[in-house]
């Protein structure tokens, strides 16, 4: 049976997390379908047609899905789920919001944040904040899986011509217990956090939201995304959509610069797969130094301006 990938997109193109999930799906089945749900998503379809290894693009274009309510999307997925052996989505906020609901509707167990596909029924996933890698096997007829996208390479775009199938039967959550109220979008010229090649992340050591702005100069020089530890987010230094860690976003850039971050295990689980890790902290015993490739012990308010000046 084919595998189904639930597409995360921004109404213009597929996100990198989706391309990585497609790669994981190819290890589960020889036939891959992708489901694109939303409203006015013509540009996403054009982007999806370029992706290799996709045989069919399922399209649900309806006003009911304009606000991406996870209840509505899960209800729609559930009506076509029996056609698939695997249903996969990236382990992002988008995927984590939808697939648990799908698993509940199908009465199956979800397999969360897989990092490796051993065979179509056996997977590896981190537990205990990434300190242990568990090998799990599922006997469910339909396997519902979220994928830690940073552990898989992106599917290539080489002009593949997939078949487009429009789903006309709309199924959505009719209970008014969950309604859309408003959305606040934060636009940035910097790279997207989960796909950036360089990430500059700050922690509680920065001391305030005003001090956090010191990272912007460094990020601009490096064309980097800005991230934060949960401690910094909880303290109100920066928006929670930039949180990295077990309860935030998972990143694995080429270069990760941790500034004023002590290195709690919950944060490390979200960035420890970065290729090169640079840590700056005035506490020489900070746990972040245990996993860093390069460490600087000192006052970040003296070190960062020197970095910016050197890069100018």
Question: DSSP labels for 224-260?
Answer: -EEEE-HHHHHTTSS-GGGBBSTTSB----SEEEEES
Residue 270 is labelled as binding a ligand: no
Residue 230 is labelled as binding a ligand: yes
pLDDT (0 to 100) of residue 63: 86
Question: Do residues 84 and 206 both lie within one domain?
Answer: no
Residue for token pair 């899905």: 65
What whole-number distance in Å separates Cα of residue 81 and Cα of residue 206? 47
Residue 110 is labelled as binding a ligand: no
* For the ranges 61-75, 152-166, 175-189, 287-301, the one whose mean pLDDT is highest: 287-301
Residue 292 is labelled as binding a ligand: no
CATH number at residue 87: 3.40.50.620
The answer to whether residue 135 sits within a structural domain is yes
Residue 245 is labelled as binding a ligand: yes
Tell me: the pLDDT tens digits for 226-237?
999 999 999 999
Question: Do residues 153 and 222 both lie within one domain?
Answer: no
Structural contact between residues 135 and 122, judged by C-beta atoms closer than 8 angstroms: yes
The answer to whether residue 141 sits within a structural domain is yes
Residue 159 is labelled as binding a ligand: no
Residue 246 is labelled as binding a ligand: yes
Which of 166, 186, 218 marks a domain boundary? 166
pLDDT (0 to 100) of residue 178: 76
pLDDT (0 to 100) of residue 68: 84
Residue 281 is labelled as binding a ligand: yes
Residue 207 is labelled as binding a ligand: no
Question: Do residues 84 and 130 both lie within one domain?
Answer: yes
Once rounded to an integer, what is the mean pLDDT over residues 285-309?
Answer: 94
Handedness of CA 281, 286, 292, 294 (dihedral sign): positive
pLDDT (0 to 100) of residue 291: 94
Once rounded to an integer, what is the mean pLDDT over residues 167-178?
Answer: 74
The answer to whether residue 179 sits within a structural domain is no
What whole-number distance in Å separates Cα of residue 301 and Cα of residue 312? 17
Cα 228 from chain centre: 15
Residue 263 is labelled as binding a ligand: yes
Residue 3 is labelled as binding a ligand: no
The answer to whether residue 35 sits within a structural domain is yes
Question: Do residues 112 and 218 both lie within one domain?
Answer: no
pLDDT (0 to 100) of residue 174: 66
pLDDT at 268 over 80: yes
Tell me: the pLDDT tens digits for 139-168?
999 999 999 998 999 999 987 778 999 998
What whole-number distance in Å separates Cα of residue 22 and Cα of residue 167? 21
Domain count along the chain: 2
Question: Do residues 19 and 150 both lie within one domain?
Answer: yes
Residue 208 is labelled as binding a ligand: no
pLDDT (0 to 100) of residue 175: 62
What whole-number distance in Å separates Cα of residue 127 and Cα of residue 3? 25
The answer to whether residue 176 sits within a structural domain is no
Residue 247 is labelled as binding a ligand: yes
Predicted model pTM: 0.86
pLDDT (0 to 100) of residue 147: 97
Structural domain range at position 154 = 3-166
pLDDT at 308 over 90: yes
Question: Do residues 14 and 147 both lie within one domain?
Answer: yes
Residue 38 is labelled as binding a ligand: no
Alpha-carbon dihedral 32, 97, 80, 86, rounded to 10 degrees: 40
The answer to whether residue 172 sits within a structural domain is no
Residue 243 is labelled as binding a ligand: yes
Residue 229 is labelled as binding a ligand: yes
């Amino acid at each position: 049976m084919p595998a189904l990938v639930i597409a995360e997109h921004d109404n213009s193109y597929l996100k990198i997390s989706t391309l990585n999930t497609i790669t994981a799906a190819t290890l589960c089945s020889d036939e891959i379908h992708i489901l694109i749900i939303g409203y006015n998503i013509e540009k996403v379809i054009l982007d999806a047609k370029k992706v290799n290894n996709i045989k069919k693009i399922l399209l649900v274009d309806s006003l009911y899905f304009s606000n991406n309510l996870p209840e509505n999307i899960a209800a729609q997925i559930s009506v076509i789920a029996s056609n698939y052996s695997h249903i996969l989505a990236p382990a992002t906020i988008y995927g984590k919001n939808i697939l648990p609901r799908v698993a509940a509707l199908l009465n199956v167990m979800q397999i969360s944040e897989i990092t490796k596909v051993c065979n179509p029924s056996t997977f590896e996933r981190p537990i205990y904040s990434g300190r242990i890698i568990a090998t799990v096997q599922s006997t469910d007829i339909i396997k519902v899986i979220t994928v830690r996208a940073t552990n898989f390479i992106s599917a290539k775009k080489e002009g593949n011509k997939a078949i487009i199938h429009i789903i006309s039967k709309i199924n959505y959550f009719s209970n008014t217990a969950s309604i859309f109220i408003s959305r606040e979008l934060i636009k940035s010229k910097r790279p997207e956090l989960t796909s950036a090649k360089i990430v500059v992340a700050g922690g509680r050591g920065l001391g305030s939201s005003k001090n956090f702005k010191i990272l912007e100069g460094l990020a601009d020089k490096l064309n980097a995304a800005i991230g934060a530890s949960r401690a910094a987010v909880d303290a109100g230094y920066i928006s929670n959509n930039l949180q990295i860690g077990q309860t935030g976003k998972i990143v694995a850039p080429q270069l990760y610069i941790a500034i004023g971050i002590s290195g709690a295990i919950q944060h490390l689980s979200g960035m420890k797969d970065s290729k090169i890790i640079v840590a700056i902290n005035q506490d020489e015993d900070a746990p972040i130094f245990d996993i860093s490739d390069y460490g600087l012990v000192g006052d970040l308010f003296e070190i960062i301006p020197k970095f910016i000046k050197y890069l100018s």
